[in-house]
Structure 1
Amino acid sequence: MGSLETEPVSLSLKRPFRISGREVRRVRGYWCTCVIEGNSGRGFGLRRGIAEEMATLDAVARRYDEPLCRVWGREPASIESFATVDLVGAEQAEKLARRYYLRGYRKLKVKVGGDDLKRDLERVEACVKSAEFDALILDGNEGLTVEEVFRLLDFLDFDGDVYLEHPTPPDSLEEVCESCEAPVIVDVMDLGARSIDDVLDVAEPCDIVNIKTQEVGFVGGLRLARDAREEGFKVMVGCAVESFSSISAAAHLAAAVEADLCDLDGHLFLDEDVVSNPGYAPVMVTEGPGWEVRVERPKPA
């Protein structure tokens, strides 16, 4: 027999987190404890069902003293994450990006699609000049026009891999995909997508599906990753602003689906958490038990 205890939680941020069209000031979600045969699992979710699913999976994994990814059929792996610069000014963006690099991050996501393309260009330039990152995602959260996407790409001077994440509203994604070389990522949270059919309806020309457990759940994430690969997409595992516990669980999902890209840094913006929050976590080794990880921070070259 098992038991579930779920309670609402509210977590403050260090500062407002700004993306195109909205601002996050506080994270409201649920914290769940599940006990199965004396083994206690814990889970966080922006929705009650996500928290309860995570806690149940954690309890099952701990019952067998195994990492969560192994319960899903894959061995532990090292998961490397992007770090995110939100819609801040160029000076603050440069400081953030440099700090991320010094703490071990080698891949950077920069939010664009604010009210002023000039500020977007300045933010991107400041981040690129701050350190020698290997990869760059320009994440528009649907806030750019097609013309603005091309102006950003024409302006960009970056030697590493470049990706576009949900740069425009869905009805313009096909034009972006057909007219630029950078791989285009579609975000299931921006789409409100729960299945591969939802993705195909509006984003079939895109290259990569960004799966977020806070939108589709953990088992749903496994299913969506499988279906996405069958349709020819690559797979990214991303996040919202959320607890380090669910970030860690998402790292186990990334290991289980052998994700091509990972953006698992949403815990960095929290001022408080329901578990011990290590802060910078550029590499997470999914050792378990349950959703637990070991954090590694590569030193600058």
Structure 2
Amino acid sequence: MHIKKIETMRIAVPLHTPFKTALRTVTEAEAIVVKMTCNEGITGWGEAPPTHVITGESLDSIETAIKKIIAPNLIGHSLLGRERVFEILHTVLVGNTSAKAAVDMALYDCLSQFAGMPLFQFLGGYRNRLETDYTVSVNEVEEMADDAARYIQNGFTALKVKVGKDDIETDIQRIKAVRQAAGEAAVIRLDANQGWKPKEAIYAIRKMEDLDLNIELVEQPVKAHDLQGLKQVKDHVDTPIMADESVFSMYDARKVLESESADFINIKLMKSGGIYHAMKICTLAESFGVECMVGSMIETKLGITAASHFAASQKNVTRYDFDAPLMLADDIVEGGIHYQGKRIHLPEESSGLGISEIKKQYIQNKGSVSNA
């Protein structure tokens, strides 16, 4: 089974409400979609959104990396020698993790179709259903409380609350209001997106502990590079700490794990460069007794389908942040995962990702590299 063609497409779909974090505000989901064609009549799909403030990539850089560098080096290779193919993907250029992730998804889609298995079964098959949390964007206190109450009423039982944009006291007021609106039974996770300094984080988390706000975990409270600060926070609070932007690669993960700087790791395919290295990070974390969440950027159901298949396949992935497609004004994908409120069902009747097509009205332009 050889790679014949790799096509790229630009897509864009509006969000029904803006997505706000300490790092950015998003009103439209843009992405580069990859369509890979093999000579067995198999087609694989992948997606890469631009996330400038996290991965450093833009639509132009993702598209150029795939069309000018990755695709020409992969065309003609057999997927039956997949270790060689993934070696090429990850060594042909430095960084560009989102571009690599989109191609990685398409490769795994093709491989699992060739094997005649859904991707989550091909990767390990630990479970076939997931439950996602829902994100409360950082806004004024009253608006965040109203959003939290609405999401709980809609059946979500875990909320991921964005903080870190303003002063600490305002963040504490936000969390108090969200807890009151969501009720005592709701699981509340905080994500500061690197917005606090270590001492600020310790103060804020301790204050929330004193107020008995029952926070499940706090994600990336300090700057990504500040592992010493991350460990300082972890060692001085009772609430578990999760590393996100601090971990792109398995080498980053090893530093966090060996230094005991975090209680959990958030794996995102756009950071790891796709499933191939995400599997290694997950296995490494498990060897240290550290559980993982799998999260996402603002992606369509295409990218989240791939992330869901990976997450479902692994025992050590215990939390899921896959609400991005629910924020979009429309579903642009034919096939893939199926949402039923907070529950995500993975398709078992089709092999690979189970995606058949992208709705044409959202495709802005196309390009391709082939051996024809």
Tell me, yes or no, whether TM beats 0.5: yes
Q: Decide which of 120, 127, 131 is 1:80's aligned counterpart.
A: 131
Letter in 2 for 1:209: I
Measured on the aligned residues, the alpha-carbon RMSD in Å equals 2.5
What is the TM-score normalised by the length of structure 2?
Answer: 0.70
**Equivalent residue, structure 2, for 1:191:** 246
Contact 1:76–1:285 (CA<8 Å) still a contact in 2?
A: no
The reply to whether residue 68 of structure 1 matches residue 115 of structure 2 is: no
The reply to whether residue 120 of structure 1 matches residue 171 of structure 2 is: yes
Q: SS of the counterpart of 1:225?
A: helix
Structure 2 Cα separation of the partners of residues 64 and 94 of structure 1: 47
**Equivalent residue, structure 2, for 1:298:** none
Is 238-247 or 264-273 further displaced after alignment? Answer: 264-273
Q: Decide which of 7, 21, 24 is 2:26's aligned counterpart.
A: 24
Contact 2:220–2:246 (CA<8 Å) still a contact in 1?
A: no
1:282 deviates by 1.3
Structure-to-structure mapping, 1:127-138, within 5 angstroms: 127-132=178-183, 133-138=185-190
1:42-90 superposed Cα distances (whole Å, 9 cap, x missing partner): 2212333322221232233234442211111224422111111111122
Structure 2 Cα separation of the partners of residues 117 and 230 of structure 1: 35
Contact 1:249–1:292 (CA<8 Å) still a contact in 2?
A: no
**Equivalent residue, structure 1, for 2:305:** 248
Q: Decide which of 39, 42, 51 is 2:42's aligned counterpart.
A: 39
Letter in 1 for 2:168: L
Structure 2 Cα separation of the partners of residues 191 and 219 of structure 1: 19
What is the TM-score normalised by the length of structure 1?
Answer: 0.86
In 2 relative to 1, CA 59–231 (structure 1 residues): closer, same or farther, beyond 3 Å? same
Structure 2 runs not aligned, ≥5 long:
50-97, 356-372
In 2 relative to 1, CA 287–142 (structure 1 residues): closer, same or farther, beyond 3 Å? same
**Equivalent residue, structure 2, for 1:296:** none
Q: Decide which of 208, 216, 223 is 1:155's aligned counterpart.
A: 208
1:193-239 superposed Cα distances (whole Å, 9 cap, x missing partner): 212x2134356321111000111111111111011111332111111
Is 265-274 or 112-121 further displaced after alignment? Answer: 265-274
What number of residue pairs does the alignment pair up?
290
1:130 deviates by 1.9
1:97 deviates by 1.5
Letter in 2 for 1:104: G
1:177 deviates by 0.8
**Equivalent residue, structure 2, for 1:269:** 327
**Equivalent residue, structure 2, for 1:291:** 353
Contact 1:29–1:48 (CA<8 Å) still a contact in 2?
A: no
Structure 1 runs not aligned, ≥5 long:
294-301
**Equivalent residue, structure 1, for 2:219:** 165
1:164-219 superposed Cα distances (whole Å, 9 cap, x missing partner): 111122241111111111111000xx226212x21343563211110001111111
In 2 relative to 1, CA 246–204 (structure 1 residues): closer, same or farther, beyond 3 Å? same
Structure 1 Cα separation of the partners of residues 188 and 47 of structure 2: 29
1:160 deviates by 5.2
Letter in 2 for 1:141: N
Letter in 2 for 1:77: N
In 2 relative to 1, CA 210–48 (structure 1 residues): closer, same or farther, beyond 3 Å? same
1:5 deviates by 1.6
Contact 2:125–2:312 (CA<8 Å) still a contact in 1?
A: yes
Structure 2 Cα separation of the partners of residues 145 and 136 of structure 1: 21
The reply to whether residue 233 of structure 1 matches residue 290 of structure 2 is: yes
1:108-165 superposed Cα distances (whole Å, 9 cap, x missing partner): 1111111233332232122212233442111111111334333344235557561011
Is 114-123 or 176-185 further displaced after alignment? Answer: 114-123
Contact 2:44–2:106 (CA<8 Å) still a contact in 1?
A: yes
Letter in 1 for 2:204: R
Specify the structure having the higher radius of gyration (Cα). 2
In 2 relative to 1, CA 84–158 (structure 1 residues): closer, same or farther, beyond 3 Å? farther
Q: Decide which of 169, 192, 200 is 1:140's aligned counterpart.
A: 192
In 2 relative to 1, CA 280–127 (structure 1 residues): closer, same or farther, beyond 3 Å? farther
Structure 2 Cα separation of the partners of residues 6 and 158 of structure 1: 50
**Equivalent residue, structure 2, for 1:103:** 154
Q: SS of the counterpart of 1:31?
A: strand
